[in-house]
Amino acid sequence: MKIGVVGASGYSGGELIRLLQNHPHFELEYLAAGSQAGTLITEVHPQLSQLGERRFEATTTARMNECQLIFCALPHGESARLIAELAPEVKVVDLGADFRLHSAQSWEKYYGGVHAGTWTYGLAEIPGQRAEIANSDRVANPGCYATAIALAAAPALQGGLIDGEDIVVVAASGTTGAGRKASTYLLASEIMGSLTSYKFGGVHQHTPEIEETLTKVAGSTVKISFTPILAPMPRGILATVTAKLKSPLDSAQAHATYQNFYEKEEFVTVLSGSLLPKTSALLGSNGVQIQVAVDAHTNRLIISAAIDNLGKGAAAQAIQNANLMLGIPESTGLTAIGLGA
């Protein structure tokens, strides 16, 4: 199957190419990179030496229409215009935000501009989503923070364990989550040896995405207070999610709820004993690590979740969605096993 990656010069684009090179059913037909057109791919992604002298191409819908499946890894607001000109038979996984939200009002508030519409949401481990993805030709890949936070909270909400309107999240992400565009605050001398919050005060753009996803799981309104943190590392997300318990529960009971919820999910590991999620254990993978406990002192459930923001948070999850869309085993070309320390 001929595959295209649009936005291939970014971090998610590079990770897509790396993973797709080893996919048994996909052929990298078209690798587009806008302003980087004509540049050797290995100048931007030196890890992709197998591509030899291959260069990025210009972004054109004519070339996109020569592919059977397109991965769009563009900044928000850029996918919708291109995709509007695609032939209807071309399948698309969009790693941007353009088609994630149901609410046009939320789009205008958090992103600005005109809402492009809503596609199937590509978080397969959320109840009911796997079948929807498999029956779709256009899928919106979730945001990286949204993936970690939704997977952390979903079992507790479906089980009726927590108050869905009292969820507090603090999550730290590596710098690749901010994209490749040069910014002073991402310079090594600015971030090394330092942590800082950003988009403080509940204004992060993944907030409505998380609330929509978890409201569907809970069957009632979900609200989160979300504080993101920039961590001095290239990649990885560690999310801590806390919520008020509806009734008394101990850690063993909470852990059993999570194990039962994810027991058939090959990419999600609910850690045993006192083990805690670790971002380095997931680098380069589509894996998720989760641990859960009850803070009896405050009557709150505490969930810790880790992912690779470029893996399960972007490129690897996009391939998982493509596999489902095409009716091939969803783990094809993917692993839950990270590189480790």
Q: How many residues are given for the chain?
A: 341
Chain-wide mean pLDDT for the chain?
A: 95
Q: What is the pLDDT of residue 150?
A: 98
For helices 316-326 and 11-20, angle between their N-to-C axes, nearest 10 degrees: 50
Confidence band of 291 (pLDDT split at 50, 70, 90): very high
**Residue 72 annotated to the active site:** no
Confidence band of 45 (pLDDT split at 50, 70, 90): very high
Q: What is the pLDDT of residue 256?
A: 97
Q: How many angstroms separate the Cα of 157 from the Cα of each of 24, 150, 192, 289, 303?
A: 38, 10, 37, 18, 12
Convert the pLDDT of each residue in 141-164 to its tens digit.
Answer: 999 999 999 999 999 999 999 999
**DSSP labels, 47-100:** T-GGGTT-BPBP--HHHHTT-SEEEE---TTSHHHHHTTS-TTSEEEE-SSTTT
* d(C-alpha 300, C-alpha 339), whole Å: 33
Convert the pLDDT of each residue in 167-202 to its tens digit.
Answer: 999 999 999 887 777 677 777 778 888 999 999 998
Cβ atoms within 10 Å of 22's Cβ, excluding its own: 11
Residue 12: is its pLDDT beyond 90?
Answer: yes
Catalytic residue among 3, 144, 270, 288: 144
Average the pLDDT over 249-272 and give the result: 97
Percent of the chain topping pLDDT 70: 99
* d(C-alpha 310, C-alpha 232), whole Å: 16
Convert the pLDDT of each residue in 94-149 to its tens digit.
Answer: 999 999 999 999 999 999 989 999 999 999 999 999 999 999 999 999 999 999 99
* d(C-alpha 56, C-alpha 35), whole Å: 9
Convert the pLDDT of each residue in 219-244 to its tens digit.
Answer: 999 999 999 999 999 999 999 999 99
**DSSP labels, 156-215:** HHHTT-EEEEEEEEEEEE-GGGG-SS--GGGSHHHHTT--EE-STTT--TTHHHHHHHHH
Q: What is the pLDDT of residue 182?
A: 67
List of domains in the chain: 2-141+312-326 (3.40.50.720), 145-311 (3.30.360.10)
Convert the pLDDT of each residue in 21-39 to its tens digit.
Answer: 999 999 999 999 988 999 9
DSSP for residue 245? E
> Does residue 148 contact residue 154 with C-beta atoms inside 8 Å?
no
- Order the strands of the 196-197 sheet from edge to edge: 196-197, 224-230, 162-173, 237-245, 300-307, 288-295, 268-270
Confidence band of 341 (pLDDT split at 50, 70, 90): low
